[in-house]
Structures are given as C-alpha cells and as structure tokens.
Amino acid sequence: MKKVAIYVRVSTQDQAEEGYSIEEQIDKLTKYCDIKDWYVYEIYKDPGFTGSTIDRPGMKKLVNDSKQHKFDTVLVYKLDRLSRSQKDTLYLIEDVFAKYNVDFVSLSENFDTSTAFGKAMIGILSVFAQLEREQITERMQMGKVGRARSGKAMGWTRPPFGYEYTEGKYIVDDFKAIVINKIYKEYLSGISITKLRDKLNDEGHLGKDIPWSYRAIRSILDNPVYAGYMNFKGEVYKGNHDAIITKELFDKTKTELDIRQKQAYAQNNNPRPFQGKYILSGLARCGYCGAPLELMLGNIRKDGTRLKKYKCTNRIVKSRVTFYNDNKKCTSGFYHMNDLEDYVINEVSKLQKNPETIFERTEIKNENHTEIYEHRIVVIDKKIKRLSDLYMNDLINLEDMQFKAKALKDEKDHLLNKLNHSEHKLENVKKDKAILFLKDIENNINDETYENKKKIINVLIKKVDVKANEIKVIWNF
C-alpha cells in the first residue's frame, strides 16, 4: 500500500478566480486515495500563499519529510498547486522527490512520475523550465541596461574605489577622493603608472589595506565613473552620482594614455611592452593548472641584460576568482625563457627537416574525431526514437515531431558524410598547407631573426604546456 503525502495550496486570488478552496482540494484528493487504496500519511497545507515561490511553511515541511523518507508519494490536485514556476516545479520533482525515491502525482493532469508517460513529461517540463530561466536572465539584463541608462549605480557589484554604495547610490568617500585626484594629477604630470604605484605604496598604501598594483591604478585612470559617468557593457551613460574629477581632467588623462601607448609601440614595436613581445607570449601554459605563464624580468645587470623567467599566473591566489584550478594557488616553479624558447624552436626545426611527419602526428587526432562522431550518431538515433514515442503518446504534434526529427536527421547525415570522406580530406588539406608553409621558409628556423621565429611559431603552434620535467607542444594541425 502506498503511503501518500497530500499537498494543498491556495492563494486568495486563486480561490476568488478559480473557485476551489483548501477543503475542496482535500476532499477530492482523499477520495482519490480511497479509490486507489492508498494510505494518507499527512496533509500539508499552505493557505493564502502564492505559487510564485516555494518559500512556504507547508512546502518546507513536505520537502524535509521527503528527505527523511516518511512517505513514498506526493499527491496534489493540480500541478500549479506545487508551484507556478516551471523551474521550481522541476527542482521539486527531480532534485527532491526523485532524488529520495518519492513518486509525484497530479490528479487533474494525470501526471504520475512512476509511469513512462510521467517520466516523459519531466523531460518536456525541463524544456519549459530552461525557457523560463532564459527569460528571467533576459529580463534581468534588460533591467541592468535600464538602470545604467538612468544613471543608477550597479548595486550588484563592488563600488569603485573612492565611493561607497548607500541607498542605491554611489556616495563619495572624501579621503579616498583625495587619493583619486592625486592619481590623476600625478599621472598627467608625467610620472609612469609603475612609479606612481611605488610612490603610493611607499606612503603606506594610501586608502587601501593591501598594496597598490599596476592594474588597480590603470583601471582607475580608465574608469569614467570618477567623472560622473557609468560604464556598462561598453556603453557610457551619465550617472546620477557626484563626480570626483572633472570631465576635462578625465579626457586629458585618456589622451595621455593613448599617447604613451603609441610611444611604447614606437620604441618596442609593441603597443603593450612585454605583452606579445616574446616567442611564447600567449602560447605558454602551466602544465599543472592550465593558467597562462607570464614573463618575469630580473634586475638590469652590469652588461645591460636581464634574467627572464616564466611563472604561472596562478602562483598567487587573486582576490577575484580565476578560471584555473578553482582559484587555488599553483605550486609550479619558474622556467628560464631561453630554455623554453630553445626547446620549441628545436621542435619546429625537426619538423622542417621532415615535414611529412605531420601526418604521423595527427593520426591519433583523426581516430578521436571518429569516436566522437560515432557516439553523437548513437545519441541522435535515441533522440529520434524519443520524438516518435512522444508523438505516439500525444505529447507532441506531428508538425513539431517532423520538424525536430528532420533537424536531427540532417545532423546525422552531416556526421556520416564526415566519417566517410570529408573530414579526412579537410584534415589532409590542413596538413598539406602546413607542409607547404614549412617548405616555403627559405632558412632553417634557427637561422631566422627573432621576430620571424615568433611569426613561424605562431602559425604552427596552438599552445605549449610546461611542467618541471616535461614540455608538450600542441600543434595547429
């Protein structure tokens, strides 16, 4: 005999518009249990509560008792009694009831998760729940844009240095405002950001609990918020907060930043000194956590040279979360730039001497592609069968079934075509181009200029994973 938990809910609006009360729901559900010979364990009630949220006392008790396996079935009069949110309904059915082996039955819709029909309905429900989530996200995004256009502060983000967030508005912190003015004026006086950073730190961090960084100062110089504007998604709007500096001072600073950028390009042939300047810039990755490697420059020696080493950017845990290693500190070491560059150049040199080995290097990749395509075809076949089952059970109309089935069949045909010939031909074209590129290089890479070596390596190599005892080159073919 099934042990059933009956859940009933009604809001004042529901009762007025739809004409069924808590008592009417209980009467119909208990009679249904009598017919089915089910034992009613308890009746959980939420009178006068909206269905737009699951934060209700009766619902909380129902969820808690489900987790303690006090019953094996939850019964409601109508699906929207559980929740009016598709997302919340799916959460309760999948993440609470199903997780703890509790069946769910809705009397009016004949919805029963213990049947095949009920399980299929969960899949359909998940589609609408996803649609609801996307609509909520879209509405939130529109709200943020509207807030920015009206000049309001972004309350969901940390206020910029120099401001406090109070009652929906940025309020100037008078002491930090002095530091902001100092940063702008000293930068325009000709001091570099690096020297300005050192000066602020020598004076006791000035307004911060932690040392100033180059990035922190640069972000202040770039931020129009200090001139009374808001920047959101690349668009600048007039803010409703007090400015710390004048618009004229901000514009002069922006012009000065551009001038110095151009000067750096003229001197180093690079708009950002030490970024993208070296052979492995943008290519070197930590083999332990996957984060990019960055170059460290030692002190200038008597002969004018500097020791250059690469280190993982994740060696220091940052205040912001990174995409690498869950923001945990990486314990990798330091790698001499010359050693890494020599290894990579030597690998390219070996490829130059025998370009045909490209085919050997990519043989395994082709096998992996084949396995991926074959697995996807199996998944597509299952999806087509599921569509057919949904149609047979009147859960989807013929037009929708044919439309979705055609899209799946087209994808399957495309994959089969790749498996037969096209993919291998495409791979061969990429390999042939790489071979021609290698043969077109007049000199061995070891005899090329540093700049030419960098260009050749950027064409041939996707990335370089570096560990203490292993360097792995990932090619572009």
Instruction: State pLDDT tens for residues 369-385.
Output: 566 667 778 888 888 88
Instruction: Tell the burial category of 200 from Cβ atoms under 10 Å away from its Cβ (0-12, 13-18, 19+).
Output: buried
d(CA 198, CA 128): 55
Task: Give 3-state DSSP helix, strand, coil % of the chain, rounded to 5.
Answer: 55, 15, 30
Residues 6+ apart with CB under 8 A from 348: 445, 456, 457, 460, 461
Enumerate the CATH 3.90.1750.20 domain ranges in the chain, comma separated: 163-268
Write out the chain's pLDDT in tens, 477 residues: 899 999 999 876 555 445 568 888 999 999 999 998 999 999 999 988 877 788 899 999 999 999 999 999 999 988 878 887 777 888 888 889 989 999 999 888 778 888 877 776 666 665 654 555 566 556 566 655 555 566 566 655 678 898 888 877 888 888 788 889 989 988 887 788 888 888 888 777 666 677 888 888 999 999 999 998 887 666 777 888 899 999 989 999 988 888 777 766 555 555 444 445 688 877 888 888 887 788 888 888 878 788 889 988 777 654 333 444 555 667 788 999 999 999 999 888 888 777 666 555 544 445 555 666 677 788 888 888 887 777 777 777 777 777 778 878 877 887 777 666 544 444 444 556 666 666 666 567 877 888 888 888 887 888 899 998 899 988 876
Query: In the beta sheet, which residues pair with residue 39?
Result: 3
Condensed to tens digits (0 to 9), the pLDDT of residues 216-262 reads: 899 999 999 999 888 766 677 788 889 999 998 999 998 888 877 77
**pLDDT attached to residue 339:** 92
Distance of CA 214 to the CA centre of its chain: 26
The helix or strand, by DSSP H or E, that contains position 229, with its residue range, turns out to be strand 229-232
pTM: 0.34
DSSP one-letter string for 320-348 = SPPSSGGGPPP---EEEHHHHHHHHHHHH
Quote the tokens at residue 124. Answer: 């359909």
**pLDDT attached to residue 426:** 41
Report the alpha-carbon angle 52-56-62, nearest 5.
Answer: 115
Q: What is the DSSP letter of 354?
A: -
Active-site residue (options: 11, 52, 126, 219): 11
Pairing of strands 461-466, 471-475: antiparallel
- Please, what's the b/e burial string for 180-189 (b: 16 or more CB within 10 A of its CB; e: otherwise)? bebbbeebee
**pLDDT attached to residue 266:** 57
**pLDDT attached to residue 65:** 95
d(CA 334, CA 101): 52
**pLDDT attached to residue 140:** 60
The correct answer on CATH 3.90.1750.20 for the domain covering 163-268 is yes
Taking the chain, what is the end-to-end CA distance rounded to the nearest angstrom? 64
150 is known as an active-site residue: no
Coil vs helix vs strand at 155? coil
Enumerate the CATH 3.40.50.1390 domain ranges in the chain, comma separated: 3-144
d(CA 274, CA 263): 14
Classify domain 3-144 at the CATH topology level.
Rossmann fold (3.40.50)
Q: Are 105 and 111 in contact (CB under 8 A)?
A: yes
Listed in order, strand segments (DSSP E) in 53-212 are 73-76, 103-106, 111-112, 163-166, 169-172
Q: Are 471 and 348 in contact (CB under 8 A)?
A: no
